[in-house]
Amino acid sequence: MKKVIDGKALVYCEGAFNTPNGKTAHGLVRFTERYEVVGVLDEKYAGRDAGEVLDGRPNGIPVFKDLEAAIVALKASENLPSYLVIGLAPDGGRLPQVAKGTIKAALQEGWNVDSGLHDFLTNDPELVTLAKEKNVTIRDIRKTPDRDQLHFFTGDIEKVDCLKLAVLGTDSALGKRTTAWILVHAFRNAGKKAEMIGTGQTGWMQGAKYSMVMDSCINDFVSGEIEHAVVSAYKNEDPDVIVIEGQGSLMNPAYPGGFEILAAGRPDYVILQHAPKRLEYDGFPGYKMHSLAEQINAIQVISGKEVIAITVNHEDMKKEEILDVCKAITLETKLPAFDVLEYGADDLIALLMEKIK
């Protein structure tokens, strides 16, 4: 059994698993060093294997109808968790009212609760009181540290002398974090020391040792926190390569992420994640996606650094389409294109290994 940071966890994803609003759960089902995931809650997929639902590859994580069903099954298999983790990632990060009942029941069971939403559970007196009674913890991952613990940009990033890669995207909820982890693991498998810089709550939940939560950080300190995470990883781990997880996209109307990552993380190269079948920005009908050429140009104008490859999100595509779509992207952009989730990252890593300093 793999060693995890915090213990066994059941992931709450009611009504959102296998949709963009379940991307935190998806990350945890695919990979986490923080928890051993023992199940997912979503009535729609009850009785199925979470990995099979998500990627067509069973991974032994069952989906349960509700908390009661999960407790019965997990007790029988002597696999009860010590955490309930909220796996929802809805627009605005708001907690559905229906979820509170499950959270209360989990606390009653004596489980800790971790949430990455903007609705902070630690602001709810009823939940806080219950947690104290049961001697368990509630952690709001998106709760910003006090200002005196935050870092301002210093310029120390210029001392980081290893390869720095940023995985940015043409939209939000696109798989940037998943691609970043795949690259980190592929570099490690190739014998290189690689570190992931998490920039969202899910990256932290997956065990990223060096991370910050960009979308809830006070704006004055966003650049400093990104720099601090990168510099700390460099100083403490002496890696060959650092991979920075992107957020949103430069042109998404609601999540215009990426500027600070380019400015403060100062990557040597950018890998651009793209979903070819998306025509409009995620969750915003009427907001037409900018073309791949426009997005590449924007990144290169802002950062002065080149986009070195395109990584493809194959949503709404049949498997037999993927390689032809990758070839079409290469013809359009003159850049190599890879689906690392479907086919692995060996070919992309071979390209990137040449850039290691």
> What SS3 string covers the chain?
CCCCCCEEEEEECCCCCCCHHHHHHHHHHHCCCCEEEEEEECHHHCCCEHHHHHHCCCCCCEEECCHHHHHHHHHHCCCCCCEEEECCCCHHHCCCHHHHHHHHHHHHCCCEEEECCCCCHHHCHHHHHHHHHHCCCEEECCCCCCHHHCCCCCCHHHHCCCEEEEEEECCCCCCHHHHHHHHHHHHHHCCCCEEEEECCHHHHHCCCCEECCHHHCCHHHHHHHHHHHHHHHHHHHCCCEEEEECCCCCCCCCCCCCHHHHHHHCCCEEEEEECCCCCECCCCCCCECCCHHHHHHHHHHHHCCCEEEEEECCCCCCHHHHHHHHHHHHHHHCCCEECHHHHCCHHHHHHHHCCCC
Does residue 189 share a domain with residue 100?
A: no
Mean pLDDT of 139-165: 96
Residue 323 lies in a domain: yes
What pLDDT, on a 0 to 100 scale, did the predictor assign at position 27? 96
Does residue 202 share a domain with residue 324?
A: yes
8 A C-beta contact, residue 197 and residue 357: no
Across the strands, what pairs with 205? none
What pLDDT, on a 0 to 100 scale, did the predictor assign at position 93? 82
Does residue 29 share a domain with residue 156?
A: no
Does residue 279 share a domain with residue 175?
A: yes
Residue 2 lies in a domain: no
Mean pLDDT of 203-228: 96
AA identity, residue 311: T
pLDDT band at 2 (very low <50, low <70, confident <90, very high): low
Does residue 119 share a domain with residue 261?
A: no
Does residue 340 share a domain with residue 228?
A: yes
* pLDDT at residue 222 greater than cutoff 70: yes
- The tokens of 30 are what? 């695919």
C-alpha closest to that of 64 among 318, 75, 97, 309: 75
Does residue 175 share a domain with residue 110?
A: no
* pLDDT at residue 252 greater than cutoff 70: yes
Mean pLDDT of 11-31: 95
Does residue 58 share a domain with residue 198?
A: no
Residue 334 lies in a domain: yes
* pLDDT at residue 70 greater than cutoff 80: yes
What pLDDT, on a 0 to 100 scale, did the predictor assign at position 357? 85
Q: What is the pLDDT of residues 93-102, one digit of tens each?
A: 889 999 999 9
AA identity, residue 196: M
Mean pLDDT of all residues in the chain? 96
pLDDT band at 82 (very low <50, low <70, confident <90, very high): very high
Can you give the residue range of the structural domain that contains 294?
149-354
Tell me the CATH number at 280: 3.40.50.300
Sheet harboring 194-198: ordered strands across?
A: 210-211, 194-198, 241-245, 163-169, 269-274, 307-312, 337-338
Residue 1 lies in a domain: no
Helix (H, G, I), strand (E, B) or coil at 87: coil
Residue 324 lies in a domain: yes
Total domain count, the chain: 2
What pLDDT, on a 0 to 100 scale, did the predictor assign at position 1? 52
- The tokens of 248 are what? 């949103």
Mean pLDDT of 289-314: 97
Mean pLDDT of 29-53: 97
Tell me the CATH number at 127: 3.40.50.720
* pLDDT at residue 283 greater than cutoff 70: yes
Where among 105, 140, 175 does a domain terminate?
140
Does residue 246 share a domain with residue 101?
A: no
Mean pLDDT of 231-253: 97
Where among 89, 123, 140 does a domain terminate?
140
Where among 117, 140, 163 does a domain terminate?
140
Does residue 225 share a domain with residue 99?
A: no
8 A C-beta contact, residue 344 and residue 181: no
Residues belonging to the chain: 357
Residue 303 lies in a domain: yes
8 A C-beta contact, residue 89 and residue 116: yes
Does residue 223 share a domain with residue 278?
A: yes
Does residue 36 share a domain with residue 128?
A: yes
Residue 306 lies in a domain: yes
Mean pLDDT of 111-118: 96
Q: pTM score, two decimals?
A: 0.93
What one-character DSSP code corresponds to residue 193? -
Mean pLDDT of 181-194: 98
Residue 3 lies in a domain: no
Please, is 2 exposed, middle or buried when counting C-beta atoms within 10 Å of its C-beta (0-12, 13-18, 19+)? Answer: exposed
